[in-house]
Amino acid sequence: MFASKSSSVSPSPSMEQADSDALDISTKVQLYGVLWKRPFGRQSAKWSRRFFIIKESFLLYYAESEKKSFESNKYFNIHPKGVIPLGGCIVEPKEEANMPYAIKISHEDFHGNIVLAAESEFEQAQWLEMLQESGKVTWKNAQLGEAMIESLEAQGLQLAKEKQEYLDKLMEETEELCLQREQKEELERLNQILEAEKQRFEEVVRELRLEQEEIRRELELTARSLKGVEEEKKELRSLTQSLQNTLEELSLEKQQMLEMLEENESQVPPATSPNKEQSPIWGLHCSLRQIEEKMQQLLQEKLLAEKRMKENEERSRALEEEREFYSSQSQALQNSLSELTAEKQQAERDLKAEVKVRMDLEKRLREAEEALQSLEQGLNSLNCNKEKEKKMKADVSNLR
């Protein structure tokens, strides 16, 4: 408190400001230097030089030689020649013979006045200012200081309690943050697994679709082949029926020819002419032979058509079996595709759910980090308050 006040006082050849930063709190002084002193309690024209120190609300004086010791170790001697309490004193400038820069210190409890003198007007002003400031420290102010210290101590306890609460909450938030980070890492790992599974599903679906397309082409080819076989079967069936009808007609014609031949042979005597080609029987035999040859040819064609029909039947059965096989394969592939599509959709739903959970966790993680930062700021604020409290206590202790 007074150390900050003393910082406005500049040093002079006979008097220097105390270096407050180089001294312990208990040894801080507000001002020190050499002044002229007149004997106290009696009128005398004799002046002597003494080393004076203003320590809080007291003016201490020593022999002039003490100045050198004080400046070397920065600790004042606890055995001064005299101590003057400044609380409630009236300090004012005074002119004395041969001492124009004198200072008078008076109090109702003093028997007489205390008169000091500086070497210059500037030094006189510095000492007047500091003596007047130090004289403001009274017992009443000290009591106020005690009350302020007690209030600060109570505030310190409250701050300590709040700090502990902040620390407990900080630990809880830290544990929650660690847990959320672990959950986030686990979700990221599951997300990678689901993504790999999704890619595997897509690859399998692509392969199945290619296989399904190949089966579809095979089915179309089989259907076209089966249709061609059916048309050929119809044609062969029609051809066979036509050959059968022709054979029946030829058989009937052959039967009629045989009957006519028998009838002619029984009625006509054996021919004596060497030209057999001109006889009717010979003509019938030729016609009969042609009919038999034609029937033989038709029979061969019929057998060939029946053989081709049999081959077509077998080919038709094979194609039908192949079609059924490809149909069952296509149905199985379609079922697999449906199942894989359902699994893929489920995996995508799971992935979306995991992503949503991860986003929620990331949001909670950010909130937890912000809460941690807020708690850290709160703790820093508490620490700052602690420092302010210590400074205030140090300042108030100067009132004692």
The residue whose two tokens read 């008169």 is 115
The answer to whether 22 and 143 are in contact (CB under 8 A) is no
- Per-residue pLDDT 10s for the chain (400 aa) are 333 333 333 334 344 444 444 334 346 788 999 999 998 866 777 899 999 999 888 999 999 999 998 888 878 788 899 999 998 899 999 988 889 999 999 988 888 889 999 999 999 999 999 999 988 866 666 666 567 667 767 887 888 888 888 888 888 888 888 888 888 888 888 888 888 888 888 888 888 888 888 888 888 888 888 888 888 888 888 888 888 888 888 888 888 878 877 777 776 565 555 555 556 677 777 877 888 888 888 888 888 888 888 888 888 888 888 878 878 888 887 888 788 788 778 877 887 887 788 788 778 778 877 777 776 776 676 666 666 656 655 554 544 4
Amino acid of residue 258? L
Query: CA–CA separation, 187 vs 358, rounded Å?
Result: 6
Give the pTM: 0.35
Q: Where are the domains of the chain?
A: 2-137, 171-267+277-390
We find that the CATH architecture of domain 2-137 is Roll (2.30)
CATH class of the domain at 171-267+277-390: mainly alpha
Q: Which two tokens stand for residue 316?
A: 């038709």
What would the two tokens of residue 52 be?
A: 């004076």
Q: Please, are residues 61 and 131 in contact by the beta-carbon 8 Å criterion?
A: no
Task: Enter the DSSP assignment of 137.
Answer: -
Alpha-carbon gap, residue 74 to 68, rounded angstroms: 10
Nearest to 207 by CA among 325, 323, 340: 340
